[in-house]
Amino acid sequence: MGVEEVMKFVVEKLKEALLILENLGGEALAWLDRVFPPETRGDKIHHWLHVALPYLIATVVLAVVVWFCRCCRGCCLGRRGGRVRMMKAPGREYRMGRDVFESDPKGYFYNLRAHPGDQLC
Provide the 10 A C-beta neighbour count for residue 36.
15
Domain ranges in the chain are 1-35, 40-83, 86-121
* Closest residue by Cα to residue 117 from 92, 90, 87: 92
Interval 51-83: pLDDT, tens: 999 999 999 999 999 888 887 765 555 455 557
Kindly report whether the global pTM for this prediction surpasses the value 0.85.
no
To which H or E segment does residue 87 belong?
strand 86-88
